[in-house]
Structure 1
Amino acid sequence: MSIKITGVGSYIPNKVEKNSDFQKHEFLYEDGSAFGQSNTVIIEKFKAITGIHERRYIQKELNNSDIAYLAAINAIEDAKIDPEELDYLIVAHNYGDVIHDDMQSDTVPSLATRVKNKLRIKNPKCVAYDVLFGCPGWIEAVIQANAFIKSGIAKKCLVIGSETLSRVVDKHDRDSMIYSDGAGATVIEASDEEGGILAHESATYSFEEANFIFFGKSNNRDSNDNRRYIKMHGRKIYEFALSHVPAAMKTCLEKSGKSISDVKKILIHQANEKMDEAIINRFYKQFKTPVPEGVMPMSINKLGNSSVATVPTLLDLILKGKMKDQEIKKGDVVILASVGAGMNINAIVYQF
């Protein structure tokens, strides 16, 4: 028995937020002081480092659970299954439903329960719950689905990664330009075919790294804004990712029994183009092998960083033939990897 992805789907918002849309923002340092540079310079430096030209935001009337549901519908249709057959419905996210222009995160009931309700699933034995694991949440939820199916307590699972980071960004923080919205979903099933999930690796580093990504006040100390926003220590995250993610990917690949020459694609969390390139370079350096051309598809330049949604969304785009010069064929070995708040890292070696 293998455990395979039998259906993929995504929801990519229609609203495009370009870098030029940030020209009127007042960017401030954490202590509230001004940058002393024009927004044009700030934005150009940002683009050079992150690779982001534009990102997607959801419409005002939508919430996180709504786009998770829309991605789920696409995955279920792709898998050609009856949703009543699902044993588990797992939603990875970070901030729940944050209504537009509100200041509270709504997680009761869980987003998974809300998605199950929207799907009109009657079966009470379809267990719905959420995963909070930072940006690696969708991969971790896939690992959990894999364990459920391996143990025999499940046959079919729906795993969703969905986030609306546009609702939790501080417009006075230049890091706000990184974040975006989106949702990706997959149906995971037991299969008689070869391949599927070959190995996985996960870790949480929290002794000194727990607060590299956190919720904090606006950089505008003169405002009466009591809301909290997503904040990060970018340099520390960059150094952490380079130190730990390539090693985790290497361990995972070795556990799978596959060689570096077998790897056709690496779908890594779309966090920062320069950081992802550095991770891949260091990963291949461990094998004394040059990085193959086209091995790391990138969507961050147009979609931004949608946290848990980046990897499943990227996978959906490739499998549906929507990424130029990128394809995954039957038999291809692919590595899925992520790093994020916690600090958490994980990887999966998967054969299609």
Structure 2
Amino acid sequence: MNIGITGTGSYIPPVITKNEDFLEHHFLDINGSHFEHENQVIIEKFQAITGIAERRYAPPELKTSDLGYLASEKAIEEAGIDREEIDYIIFAHNFGDLTPGKIQGDTLPSLATRVKHLLQIRNPKCVAYDMIFGCPGWVEGVIQASAFIKSGLAKKCLVIGGETLSRIVDDHDRDSMIYSDGAGAAILEANPSSGEILSHASETYANGEAYYLYFDKTYKEEGCPDTRYIKMHGRKIYEFACTQVPRAMKECLDSSGVSIDDVKKIFIHQANEKMDEAIIKRFYRLYGRQVPEDIMPMSIHKLGNSSVATVPTLYNLVKNGQLDDHEVNPGDVVIFASVGAGMNINAVVYRV
């Protein structure tokens, strides 16, 4: 049985926040001390490492579930399916719906249920649930959806990845410049006219790595001690990802039976430009190959890191010819790969 992606959609928020918008921020070190460099220098170094020049924030009236709904409408339209025939809605996120100014995630009801409500799906057999798997959540949702279809429990699944990270960051943490908002969605179906999942792999590292991304208070000493924000050990994540992700990608590709030379694109989680480049370089080194030109589309420069939304959004942009100098065509073999909180890793080899 072939299982393929028959429709994709994304919602890219309209609010553009550029690096210069952080010039007046009061950045502090993890111990609350001031940096010796001015913000201009901090921002320049940040852009050189991450590649991020600007990012997108959602307007205040839209929550994560709203972004997911908007992306889903596009995916359903592109797939040309009756929404009442969707068997599962899987919504990958990390923090639920966040209201600006209130750092408390709302997951009652689940975001998948909220999307089903917004889509006005009446069929009670359409099961809606959320996926908490860090940044690799959307890829893991695709893996779960394919398992449902392969087992005969489903014929059509909607998998969404969405986040509004701009509402869960500490303004005094320079890492806050990384995060952004957005959503991507895809319809998976059995025996489509084109498209096939060839292999997949997932791993969780929690023996020492579990808290590389974590929740903690602001770096500002007089800030509220009971409010928590997303925090990370950036260097540890970088080293972990560069070591473990290439190996996991190789295992996944080897199990697909596809040659490394036949891979046309790699859609990797948009976390950090330098880190992604290092991962891909090490991946090809495992095969004794040089990295081909234009193998890795990047959206992080303009869109930032929207966590679970980066991979589906990036794929949607390239598939619809909206990212300069990149395209995918029927029959092309691509790899989806991600790494994030948990620490979780996954990959999918997919024939378009």
TM-score, length basis structure 1: 0.99
Q: What is the alpha-carbon distance in structure 2 between the residues aligned to residue 108 and residue 210 of structure 1?
A: 26
Measure the CA separation in 1 of the matches of 2:103 and 2:258.
Answer: 47
Matched with 1:206 is 206
The residue number in structure 2 matching 1:55 is 55
Q: 1:14 to 1:274 in 2, by over 3 A?
A: same
SS at match of 1:45: helix
Relative to structure 1, is the Cα distance of residues 261 and 290 closer, same or farther in structure 2, using a 3 angstrom cutoff?
A: same
Structure 1 residues 229 and 192: alpha-carbon distance in aligned structure 2, compared to 1, 3 A threshold: closer
Separation in structure 2 between the aligned mates of residue 15 and residue 238 of structure 1, nearest angstrom: 29
1:194 positional shift = 6.1
| Equivalent pairs, count | 352
Q: Secondary structure at the match of 2:44?
A: helix
Give the whole-Å Cα distance in 2 for the aligned partners of 1:12 and 1:103.
22
Q: Percent identity?
A: 65
**Aligned counterparts of 1:77 and 1:329: Cα–Cα separation in 2:** 20
**Corresponding residue of 1:325:** 325
Q: What amino acid does structure 2 have at the position aligned with 1:285?
A: R
Residues 52-98 of structure 1, C-alpha deviations (whole Å, 9 max, x = no match): 00000000111000000000001000101111000000000000001
- Quote the residue 1:287 is aligned against: 287
State whether residues 50 and 273 of structure 1, in contact with CA within 8 Å, keep that contact through their aligned partners in structure 2: yes
Counterpart-to-counterpart distance in 2, 1:87 and 1:198: 22
The AA in structure 2 aligned to 1:149 is: I
Structure-1 residue corresponding to 2:186: 186
Distance 1:81 1:224 in 2: 48
Q: Is the 8 A contact 1:92 1:308 kept in 2?
A: yes
| Per-residue CA distance 1:11-32 (angstroms, 9 max, x = gap) | 0000000000000100001110
Secondary structure of the 2:261 match is: helix
Query: How much has 1:227 moved relative to structure 2?
Result: 1.4
In structure 2, what residue type is equivalent to 1:34? H
Distance 1:265 1:238 in 2: 22
Report matched runs for 1:73-88 at 5 Å. Answer: 73-88=73-88
Code of the residue aligned with 2:165 in structure 1: it is: L
The answer to whether the 8 Å contact 2:6/2:195 transfers is no
Equivalent residue number for residue 301 of structure 1: 301
Counterpart CA distance in 2 for 1:222 and 1:96 is 27
**Cα distance in 2, alignment partners of residues 192 and 300 from structure 1:** 31
Indicate the SS of the match to 2:277.
Answer: helix
Q: Secondary structure at the match of 1:104?
A: strand
Q: Which stretches in structure 2 are left out of the alignment for 5+ residues?
A: none
Instruction: Please list, as runs of the form range in 1=range in 2, the aligned pairs for 1:155-194 lying within 5 A after superposition.
Output: 155-191=155-191, 193=193
What residue number does 2:229 align with?
229
- The letter for the 2-side match of 1:227 is T
Matches within 5 A, 1:49-128: 49-128=49-128
Q: What letter matches 1:321 in structure 2? A: G
* Alignment of 1:10 onto 2:7: no
The residue identity in structure 2 corresponding to 1:289 is R
1:210-232 residue CA offsets vs partner (Å, 9 max, x unmatched)? 00000110010122363100000
* TM-score, reference length from structure 2: 0.99
Q: Secondary structure at the match of 2:252?
A: helix
Superposition deviation, residue 42 in structure 1: 0.2
- The 3-state SS of whatever aligns with 2:108 is coil
- Contact 1:215–1:229 (CA<8 Å) still a contact in 2? yes
Report the equivalent of 2:134: 134
CA distance in 1, matches of 2:172, 2:271: 20
CA RMSD, aligned part only? Answer: 0.8
Any idea what the Cα deviations from partners look like across 1:180-213, whole Å, max 9, x if unmatched? 0000000000015465100000000001100000
- Partner of 1:345 in structure 2? 345
Shift of 1:103: 2.3
SS state at 1:128 partner: strand
Aligned to 1:215: 215
The one-letter amino acid of 1:323's match is L
- Amino acid aligned to 1:77: E
Match of 1:30 in 2: 30
Equivalent residue of 2:99, what SS?
coil
SS at the partner of 1:55? Answer: strand
After the TM superposition, which parts of structure 1 deviate over 3 Å for at least 4 consecutive aligned residues? 192-195
Show CA shifts across 1:131-175 (max 9, x none).
000000000000000000000110000000000000100000000
Report the equivalent of 1:272.
272
- Paired with 1:207 and 1:226, the residues of 2 have a C-alpha distance of 27
Q: Distance in 2 between matches of 1:265 and 1:250?
A: 14
Say whether residues 1:19 and 2:19 are aligned partners.
Answer: yes
Asked whether the 8 Å contact 1:156–1:188 carries over to 2, the reply is yes
What is the CA–CA distance in structure 2 between the aligned matches of 1:75 and 1:166, rounded to whole Å? Answer: 25
**Maintained 8 Å contact 1:2/1:193:** no
Whole-angstrom CA distance in 2 between matches of 1:30 and 1:192: 50
